[in-house]
Amino acid sequence: MPDNPDLIKLLILLPVIGCGGGFLSGLLGIGGGILYVPALFFSMTTMGISPGLTMHMAVATSAAIMVAAGGTSALHHYKRGSVDVARLKNWGPFIIAGVALGVLLASAAPGLLLKRIFCVLTMSFAVYMFFGRIRPPEKPVRFFTDAVQRACCVLIGMASSMIGVGGAIMTVPLMSAIGMHMQRAAGTASALGVIIAVPGTLGYIAAGIQHGGHLPPWSLGYVSLAAVAAIVPTSMLMAPVGVKVAHKTDRAVLRRIFAVLLVIVSTKMFMSM
C-alpha cells in the first residue's frame, strides 16, 4: 500500500492521464479506457500497490471513469438525436450479460492473465485501427443477423469489462457493418459504453470488497475513488479540444497514429510481465 507522499504523487500524475485520455476520446471518438488502463497500471505499480491487485484496480477504475465521462458524452449525443434507442433496447441485455460474465472471469483471474488479455486485444485493435476501412451504410454485411449481433454483444460486453474499456472500438465497426451511419453509430456507441461501464463498475466494487485491507486509501472495492476524482475533470475538459483537432486533421492519419500508440503501449505492458 502506498504511503502518503506516494499517494500525493499519484494524485498529481492522474490529472495528466485524464488530459491524455480525454483528448484521445474527442480526437478519435472512442473512450479513453484503452489509455487509462495501462496508465493506471504503471502509475499504481510505481506507487507500491500489490502486483496481484494492480491490474484489477486499473481495469475497475477505468470502468468507473467511463461511467462519468461516457455518461456526459452519451447525454450530449442523445440530445442531438444521434442515439439509436431501439438498438440500445435490443443489444443492451446481451451486453450486460457479457459484462457480468467478464467481471466474474476477470475477478477470478490472476493479474498476469488480465495483462495478457489486455495486450492481445490491444494489438488486435491496433491492427483494425491501422488497416480497417469504414463500410458505406448502403452496403451492410448480410452475415450479421439479429442472432449474430446479439452473440457479438455478449462477446463485446465480456471483452470490454475484462480490459476496462467502453467498447466503442468494437461496437462502432459492428454498427457500421449492419449499415448504420457513422454519426449515429458513434452516438449509440457512447450510450452502449455506459451500459457496459455501470454494471462493470458495480461488479468490480463487489468483487474487490474482500481485499479491502490490502487496497490503497479511498478505494471502493477494486475502484480507486481518488483516481476517478482526479481523472474525470481533466478528461471532460480536454475532450472538446480533441474534437476540434479531429475536424482539422485527416481521420485516416489519426487512426494510424493511434494504432502505433496502441502497439507501443501493448508492447511495454507485455515486457513488464
User: What is the domain partition of the chain in residue ranges?
Assistant: 4-271
The C-alpha atoms of residue 259 and residue 91 are separated, in whole angstroms, by: 28
- The owner of cell 477494486 is 222
For the record, the C-alpha cell of 236 comes out as 471532460
Contact 230, 96 (CB under 8 A): no
pLDDT of amino acid 34: 81
pLDDT of amino acid 90: 94
- 29 phi-psi bin (left φ>0, alpha ψ -120 to 50, beta other): left
Dihedral sign (CA 112, 118, 121, 125): negative
253 CB-near residues (< 8 Å, 6+ apart): none
The C-alpha atoms of residue 92 and residue 27 are separated, in whole angstroms, by: 26
pTM: predicted TM-score of the whole model, two decimal places: 0.86
- pLDDT tens string for the chain (273 positions)? 445 556 667 777 888 888 888 787 777 666 677 888 988 888 888 777 777 889 999 999 999 998 887 777 778 778 878 889 999 999 999 999 999 999 999 999 888 888 889 888 888 888 887 887 666 666 677 788 899 999 999 999 999 999 988 888 888 888 888 888 877 887 888 889 889 999 999 999 999 988 877 788 888 999 999 889 989 999 888 877 877 776 677 767 777 877 887 888 888 778 776
